Amino acid sequence: MMSEVATLGGGCFWCLEAVFLDVEGVTAVESGYAGGHVAAPSYEAVCSGDTGHAEVINLTFDSAVIGYREILEIFFATHDPTQLNRQGNDVGTQYRSVIFTHSDEQARIAMTMRDELAERRLYDAPIVTRIEPLAGNYWPAEPYHQNYFANHPAQGYCSFVIAPKVAKFRQRFAHRLKSRRA
Positions marked catalytic: 12
Q: Decide if 12 contacts 95 (C-beta within 8 A).
A: yes
In three-state secondary structure terms, 174 is: helix
Of the candidates 4, 180, 1, the one whose C-alpha atom is nearest the C-alpha of residue 103 is: 4
DSSP string, 71-92: HHHHHHHSS-TTSTTEETTEES
Backbone angles phi, psi at 126, to 5 degrees: -65, 145
4-43 in b/e form (b: 16+ CB < 10 A) is bbbbbbbbbbbbbbbbbbbbebbeebbbbbbbbeeeebeb
> How far apart, in whole angstroms, are the C-alpha atoms of residue 70 and residue 117?
13
